[in-house]
Amino acid sequence: MASIQYIKGVRTRFRNILDLEIQKGDGLLNTEIDEEFDLDRMLNEVSKCFEKVKEYKEKVERQSEKLVESIDKKESEMIEEIIDEDLTLCEKAFDMCQNLQVFTKTLMQSKEKLEFKVDQKDYTHDLVEVQKNIQQLLEAQMRQQEKEKRKENEKMSSIKLPKIDMISFNGDKTRWTEFWDSFKNAVHNNKYISNVEKFNYLKGKLVGEAKSAITGLALTSDNYIMAVDILRKRFGNTQEIIDLHYSQLINIPIATSKVNSLRCLLDGVDQHIRSLEVLEENVNPGHSSIYSQIKVA
């Protein structure tokens, strides 16, 4: 596996290139168009910029995932900082791609109009109108995007994203219910967090067999849903969990007459009984035979 320094370096290079392409896109969108303007050249430049922004957006996302996976999970603040930085840049890239697509359509319409013009007297007037239409379209779109961002910022200002301080899950099926209830309430059901962010939080809390179960899934919105489904099927089968609790409860080591030994026995029994109650099992001493099988030496 590549070193963290190398992964950081590649991520920085990809981010710098993406930022430069976004700036280039801003320049293209604000280009003054006059009667001498070469629409074919502009279309070519816009197309190349669009492809570059799209390509390096995807590279930044992949490199961000690699870096998060390489960092010690204890460094949650660094992980959150990386996620926030890359999400912000990728959102700018996404907006730029949309703007360039709209601009391309407008330029194509302008080109078609100019190709069918035969009256040289109307040429200048039509070109000015095209420029006005482009400008009006861009201004309207920018106003709409700013309005949507303000609404989202207002929502986010009243919402604090959950810190990654929940319990981890290593594949022990008897701990699945506890882990999933905690994660679901803090992250999964939070409608203000994207699926990509949720996937990052989820990966940060998995270790051992649980982490291996979703290894290879790229950091995407659809893959988050797939990862949750895989974990539920493998570790969240209710009947299997119940059977494991009964098995471990019956096989608790026999206690001696010492206080510490008796306390360990009691704590172990209480842990499994509480878990079975959560799973809606009837663990009433008068109803269940499990108590008769718990021995004290």
Tokens of 106: 């407008």
Going by pLDDT thresholds of 50, 70 and 90, the confidence category of residue 250 is: low
Distance of CA 74 to the CA centre of its chain: 19
Quick check: 182 pLDDT over 90?
A: no
What's the confidence (pLDDT) of residue 65? 87
Mean pLDDT for the stretch of residues 56-67: 88
Task: Tell me the C-alpha distance between 144 and 163, whole Å.
Answer: 32
Instruction: For residue 169, give the 3-state DSSP assignment.
Output: strand
H helices of 158-291, where? 176-183, 195-204, 208-213, 221-235, 238-250, 259-278
Going by pLDDT thresholds of 50, 70 and 90, the confidence category of residue 158 is: very low
Tokens of 260: 């510490």
Biggest CA–CA distance in the chain, Å, is 108
CB burial class (10 A; 0-12, 13-18, 19+) of residue 197? buried
Domain spans of the chain?
4-157, 173-235, 238-293
Looking at residue 184, what DSSP letter applies?
I
Please state, in angstroms and as integers, the Cα–Cα distance from residue 288 to each residue in 122, 248, 263, 284, 285, following that order: 93, 15, 22, 6, 6
Tokens of 171: 């594949």
**Which range among 85-94, 104-113, 243-252 has the greatest average pLDDT?**
85-94
As assigned by CATH, the class of the 4-157 domain is mainly alpha
pTM, full prediction: 0.39
Q: At what angle do helices 123-157 and 76-115 cross, to 10 degrees?
A: 160
What's the confidence (pLDDT) of residue 35? 58
How many other C-beta atoms lie within 10 A of the C-beta of residue 117?
12
Looking at residue 175, what DSSP letter applies?
G
Task: Tell me the C-alpha distance between 134 and 117, whole Å.
Answer: 19
Strand-pairing partners, residue 206, are: 169
Looking at residue 290, what DSSP letter applies?
G
Task: Tell me the C-alpha distance between 295 and 297, whole Å.
Answer: 6
Please state, in angstroms and as integers, the Cα–Cα distance from residue 25 to each residue in 54, 100, 190, 269, 275, following that order: 12, 7, 34, 65, 57
What's the confidence (pLDDT) of residue 290? 52
**Which range among 15-24, 144-153, 246-255, 271-280 has the greatest average pLDDT?**
15-24
Q: Closest by alpha carbon to 109, among 124, 130, 125?
A: 130
Looking at residue 160, what DSSP letter applies?
P
**Which range among 31-40, 183-192, 219-228, 275-284 has the greatest average pLDDT?**
219-228
Quick check: 212 pLDDT over 80?
A: yes
CB burial class (10 A; 0-12, 13-18, 19+) of residue 86? buried
Tokens of 281: 């099992």
